[in-house]
Amino acid sequence: MIGKEIRLNRLIRNNKSLFLAMDQGIEHGPNDFNDKTINPGMILGIAEKGRYNGIILHKGIVLNYFERYAGKIPLILKLNGKTNIPHIDVGISEQLTSVKDAVRLGADAIGYTIYTGTIGENLMLKQFGKVEEEARDYGMPIILWMYPRGRDRFNAEKVAYAARIGMELGADMVKVYYTGSMQTFKRVVLAAQKTRVLCAGGEKKTEKEFLKMVRNVMNAGAAGLAVGRNVWQHNEPLKITKKIKHIVFKK
């Protein structure tokens, strides 16, 4: 397990983590980006200058853009994914990349999404079971995106249930939606027990709303955040990074 501890140490500072998410190109499409941030190099630059504890990428971006950032930004390789293009069936986030490839690409952790409350849930749980075994063999930390689906996907009990599933499946960290308040988020953190809880940023909010969310999740006992749009869609990504870090790391 020593490999896993070494990798985890790269992702955690003062017992907290701040990750920059850039897997939206597959999940949401290029509409999330402007004419500048559509170039992955721009967002990698924010992660480097902002000294994030990790960046979340799919493998194509690692293969084509990551080399010069290796050793500067820890890498969280997203192994599964799905598009936002309307389908006739309920979206299943299928595995696209192997744990072995994550090792080959020098990843410090793998990211994997499970949508709870969907028709595809069982398949995703089954695929993940195998991924977890492989990750354990390689000493690769696991970050599970535990996302309920349906209209009430931000409901605290649903998010807490998803976080709990993530813990029982063997995740080192779970990334979950914000439940709207510090009180409700505490329940999520409690449900996950030893597993570290990270809050996702979600859609772009006003700076005031976003920082209130950051404060609430940290006061609820979260281990940090994994944010995308609220940083790189901000007019001044490094300024907002500084403000987030001030709350997360208390300095």
* Residues in contact with ligand FBP by the rule CB under 6 A: 21, 23-24, 27, 56, 145, 147, 200-202, 227-230
User: Which residue shows structure tokens 């995740």?
Assistant: 171
Q: Is 78 among the catalytic positions?
A: no
Tell me the closest approach of the beta carbon of residue 23 to ligand FBP, in angstroms.
Answer: 4
User: Which residue shows structure tokens 């992955």?
Assistant: 40
Structure tokens at 164: 């709990």
Tell me the closest approach of the beta carbon of residue 145 to ligand FBP, in angstroms.
Answer: 6
| CB nearer ligand FBP, residue 57 or residue 160 | 57
Helix (H) / strand (E) element for 78: namely strand 75-78
One-letter amino acid identity for 239? K
Q: Is 147 among the catalytic positions?
A: yes
Tell me the closest approach of the beta carbon of residue 1 to ligand FBP, in angstroms.
Answer: 27
Catalytic residue among 78, 175, 186, 245: 175
- For ligand FBP, the nearest residue by Cβ is 201
CA dihedral over 97, 100, 44, 64, signed as positive or negative? negative
How far is the C-alpha of 113 from the C-alpha of 124, rounded, in Å? Answer: 8
| CB nearer ligand FBP, residue 20 or residue 220 | 20
For 2, other C-beta atoms within 10 Å of its C-beta total 7
| CB nearer ligand FBP, residue 117 or residue 139 | 117
Instruction: Tell me which residues are annotated as active site.
Output: 147, 175
